Structure 1
Amino acid sequence: MPSIRERARGALLGLAVGDALGAPAENMKPSEIRARWGRITGYVKDVPAGTDDTEYAIFSGLLLARHGSALTPAHVEAAWHEWIADRAEGPFRGAGFSERGTLENLRRGLAAPISAQHRHAWSDGLAMRAAPFGVFAAGRPAEAARLAAIDGSVSHEGEGIYGGQAVAAGVAAAMAGAAPIAVVASALAVVPDDSWTARSLRRAVTAAHRGERAVRSAVVIGGYPWTDLAPEAVALAYGAYAAADGDFRDAVLTAVNMGRDADTTAAVAGALAGATQGVAAIPADWAAAITPARGSCLPAMAGHHVLEVADLLTEDEETSVRPPDPTSFTLAPDTEAGVVR
């Protein structure tokens, strides 16, 4: 049975590995992935590298290590200024649409939650950085979700917040040794039952036993050009995790080969499976490719390694965390649409 420290390292190294594996397939369709690489079974670049997902997860992890459960929106806003908005930008200019909108608002002097009022507040930008909250609040999914919402208040609203909360809560449950079905239950328990996020998540895990094509068909918004929708990305990640029954390699590769926002979906699936199985489940050659952050997106994060963050968040590791009760999880059929909501 992995220790809390081993699960923490598995979660954050798993996130970074998933990010690096999925980055080349980002915004691609499965057919495009097959045409270029066949089925992706490992790194497809000679020098694998993570993206904004890893660097923002390090950002949130360091912020949480600094403030712990006393974290407030003011702390988060101050950190965005200290580590991102008031600094020179890296070559990737502060990451995705939600991050760009947030930075522009902060630089105009807008404060949280007004800083989150931009056209991409529903993105998966919080979900991609939410795993550290689950690591910190191991066995306490509700607390992990509370902290993720505080972090997200600067950059996200609505479904963007829910997606981050679902990831944080799931990781918190997995950190306590919960079975995959209870990990899913913990994610669903912290978001509104009738939210887009909850409906997509239920559809994904219900389809999981039929494989990645069924998961993708259950949640992807066909024809929509942006792939960073939080309800879609989080559901794809959980669908991959459920289809693999928590196995690290299978979960991450399933997420990668579904395409769409593949770096984020694989990062989230990797965090969930890494917390479930511990760091030893990550293939050694995959793990060895993860180096300290280069600061390509956030120069202030350069030199920090995800394992450093995992250790910071588990310095006072608990030995008595208990997994959630899997009997609390049910899938309610959607009687109107004939699918699981």
Structure 2
Amino acid sequence: MTPKSPETNLEDRITGSLVGAAVGDALGGPVEGYSPDQILERHAGRVHGIVGPWNGDAWRTARPIAPYHKGDGHVTDDTLMTHALIRVYAKVRDHLDAYAIADHLVPDLMTTPRWIPELEQEALPLHRVFLAEKWLVTRLHYAHVDPREAGVGNIVNCGAAMYMAPVGLVNAANPRAAYTEALDIAGAHQSSYGREAAAVFAAAVAAACTPNATPDSVVTACLSQAKDGTRTAILKVCEAAQHHTDFESALKPLREAVAPYDTVGPDYRSPSLAARRPSRVHAIEELPIALGMLLVADGDYRRAVLGAVNYGRDCDSIATMAGALAGALGSPPPETWAKQVSEASRLDLWEPATTLTEVTQEIYERDVRRHETHKAAVTALGGPRCAD
């Protein structure tokens, strides 16, 4: 892996992860939904940086169901949702749960116009997010469903996982805590393996923030938390990734490794009838592939993200996750990419990282006080009994 500077601290890891996620999102957006072969043909080679929309100047009308300017450095809903979750942390200034999503995230999506890069205008984030995210508003605002159960009935996809990096960062170096918190948060949005993936991704980011972490240690942390098909899919993809050091040779083997667990099927734009339904034996595709590309790249940001981008399919989310993990490991995105994405998207990519760093410090100090209070109480009770 690209050596980390000895000065790399938690603030650097948080910044690298969040900026890295946004840059990966922007690079993957214009080729989302296509296969590696289609990407190769469209771009006369592999994508090695920021590219324009798939349909050029016809981006607004070529796919009327999705009239978005994907490309030219524009972030997508992955980043919009990530930043929205950080704003919730900034309000609550403590660990979150499903109720925080109902009380803070949903109103943010519904009431506050923001600059939406893909629409090239100010709009409510609700008007850009995918239907699986609009579900949050339908279930929590209109239907008044218990937030802990609101995700039940939604399509099972990566919708919750794609913006869970902040949960891992708030719980830096504590994968189990990140898993538990994300599992609660994601209950408002997803169920089954979609919810599980959100929790495991948060655990992965937390593990990446551990001193001397490596891609292998991140995968080990994921496997220690993951359940059912999610765990098996990660294991199989990462076993396949161990045989490759270049994403080109890994594209097909990684897809073959995840295919038995992916419900979408071979044609990403025409999902099978079994797609996105609850299951204990299946998994979302995005997280295992992001971890696989992290291994192939040995933690190097550029190589991991470009592998994710050129994999195609839901590659903006895959690159978001790979970018978040590489950045948390201490391999930040190239400055030129980050600057281009920030300017093109008209977003300060560093401000959310500054905010989350401050909140993370506050939460950590509060956690220490809570632990000391608990410790004192147990001590006053005579402490746990020791075995004879």
TM norm. shorter chain > 0.5: yes
1:256-335 correspondence runs (5 A): 256-279=309-332, 282-291=333-342, 305-315=348-358, 316=361
- Structure 2 unmatched ranges of 5 or more: 1-5, 53-70, 114-122, 245-249, 277-282, 365-388
Between the aligned partners of 1:129 and 1:215, the Cα distance in structure 2 is 23
Aligned to 1:22: 28
1:92–1:25 Cα change, 3 Å: farther
The reply on whether 1:50 has 2:75 as its aligned counterpart is yes
Aligned-residue offset at 1:305: 3.3
Between the aligned partners of 1:306 and 1:226, the Cα distance in structure 2 is 33
1:1-341 correspondence runs (5 A): 1=6, 2-37=8-43, 38-45=45-52, 47-86=72-111, 90=124, 93-111=127-145, 112-120=147-155, 122-177=156-211, 178-192=213-227, 195-208=228-241, 209-210=243-244, 211-220=250-259, 221=262, 222-223=265-266, 225-226=270-271, 231-279=284-332, 282-291=333-342, 305-315=348-358, 316=361
Between the aligned partners of 1:155 and 1:85, the Cα distance in structure 2 is 16
Aligned-residue offset at 1:72: 2.7
1:207-235 CA-to-partner distances (Å, cap 9, x unmatched) read 11232221121113433534996621111
1:64–1:21 Cα change, 3 Å: same
Corresponding residue SS for 2:21: helix
Question: Residue 287 of structure 1 aligns to which amino acid in structure 2?
Answer: A
1:214–1:148 Cα change, 3 Å: same
Aligned-residue offset at 1:69: 4.0
- In terms of mean alpha carbon deviation, does 98-107 or 151-160 score higher? 98-107
- In terms of mean alpha carbon deviation, does 70-79 or 51-60 score higher? 70-79
Checking the alignment, whether the CA contact within 8 Å between 1:55 and 1:293 is kept in structure 2 is no
**Identity percentage of aligned residues:** 31
- In terms of mean alpha carbon deviation, does 10-19 or 225-234 score higher? 225-234
1:67–1:11 Cα change, 3 Å: same
1:140-188 CA-to-partner distances (Å, cap 9, x unmatched) read 1111112212221111112111111111111111112311111111122
1:288-327 CA-to-partner distances (Å, cap 9, x unmatched) read 1232896xxxxxxxx7634222222222288xxxxxxxxx
Corresponding residue SS for 1:143: helix
1:286–1:62 Cα change, 3 Å: same
- Structure 1 unmatched ranges of 5 or more: 295-302, 319-341
Question: Residue 203 of structure 1 aligns to which amino acid in structure 2?
Answer: K
Structure-2-length-normalised TM-score: 0.73
Structure with greater Cα Rg: 2
Aligned to 2:382: none
RMSD: 2.5
Checking the alignment, whether the CA contact within 8 Å between 1:10 and 1:277 is kept in structure 2 is yes
1:180–1:32 Cα change, 3 Å: same
Structure-1-length-normalised TM-score: 0.82
Between the aligned partners of 1:202 and 1:305, the Cα distance in structure 2 is 36
Corresponding residue SS for 1:71: coil
Q: How many residues align?
A: 306
Between the aligned partners of 1:80 and 1:258, the Cα distance in structure 2 is 31
Corresponding residue SS for 1:231: coil
Question: Residue 220 of structure 2 aligns to which amino acid in structure 1?
Answer: A
Greater relative CO (CA pairs within 8 A, separation 6+): 1
Aligned-residue offset at 1:91: 7.7
1:66–1:115 Cα change, 3 Å: same
Between the aligned partners of 1:27 and 1:184, the Cα distance in structure 2 is 26
Aligned-residue offset at 1:201: 0.8
Corresponding residue SS for 1:253: helix
Checking the alignment, whether the CA contact within 8 Å between 1:191 and 1:197 is kept in structure 2 is yes
Corresponding residue SS for 1:162: helix
Question: Residue 184 of structure 1 aligns to which amino acid in structure 2?
Answer: V
Between the aligned partners of 1:160 and 1:142, the Cα distance in structure 2 is 18
Aligned to 1:334: none
1:95-150 CA-to-partner distances (Å, cap 9, x unmatched) read 22321223222342332134212341x21011110111111111111111122122
Question: Residue 156 of structure 1 aligns to which amino acid in structure 2?
Answer: Q
Checking the alignment, whether the CA contact within 8 Å between 1:134 and 1:144 is kept in structure 2 is yes
